[in-house]
Amino acid sequence: MQQTMDRASASATPPATVTASTPTLSSGYQKVAAAPGTRLYFVNLRDGQTVSNPVKLVFGLSGMGVAPAGVEKAGTGHHHLLIDVAAWDANAPLPVSDQVRHFGMGQTETTLQLAPGTHTLQLVLGDQNHIPHHPVVASERITVTVK
Ligand SMILES: [Cu+2]
């Protein structure tokens, strides 16, 4: 899909389309609350960066903690990496796919092989059931160019 960008800065990646987060799911599930001011970010990558394989990603989280999937502990979650994902649902468990990687052991970094070309990357924190927090804790969506 081709998208035309009419922004002043050509390197700024458009944000993903995300459904508006609700504190409770239609099933009645109460989402885990995000701590105010929580920040999720790529420690070692920035938007527009050129990288080469293997691509190391370090996940930065401030304001909350990391816990493995399945562990219910207030103020925590585990990392999810969205690769080339332009839209996602904040009110459902994050799916498991090649494009949505779960770090359910509580990992805070990973190393990837990415096909040459441009890719978008975004981090999303999920609770013990892989459901985004309320409000959503997500990083900026960035674009990297793989040589
Ligand atoms: Cu998960």
Which portions of the chain are predicted below pLDDT 70? 1-11
Identify the pLDDT of residue 122. 98
Identify the pLDDT of residue 11. 61
The model carries a pTM of 0.92
CA 89 to chain centre: 12
CA of 7 to the centre of ligand 1 (A): 33
pLDDT, one tens digit per residue, over 95-133 is: 999 999 999 999 999 999 999 999 999 999 999 999 999
CA of 129 to the centre of ligand 1 (A): 7
CA of 63 to the centre of ligand 1 (A): 19
Identify the pLDDT of residue 5. 46
Identify the pLDDT of residue 7. 45
- Which CATH number, 1.10.1060, 2.60.40, 3.30.1490, 1.10.10, labels domain 2-146? 2.60.40
CA of 16 to the centre of ligand 1 (A): 19
CA of 101 to the centre of ligand 1 (A): 8
Q: Are the beta carbons of 107 and 13 closer than 8 angstroms?
A: no
Identify the pLDDT of residue 27. 94
The four Cα atoms 7, 8, 9, 14 give a dihedral, to 10 degrees, of: -20
CA of 58 to the centre of ligand 1 (A): 17
Backbone angles phi, psi at 132, to 5 degrees: -55, 150
Provide the residue ranges of all domains of the chain, joining segments of one domain with +: 2-146
CA of 79 to the centre of ligand 1 (A): 7
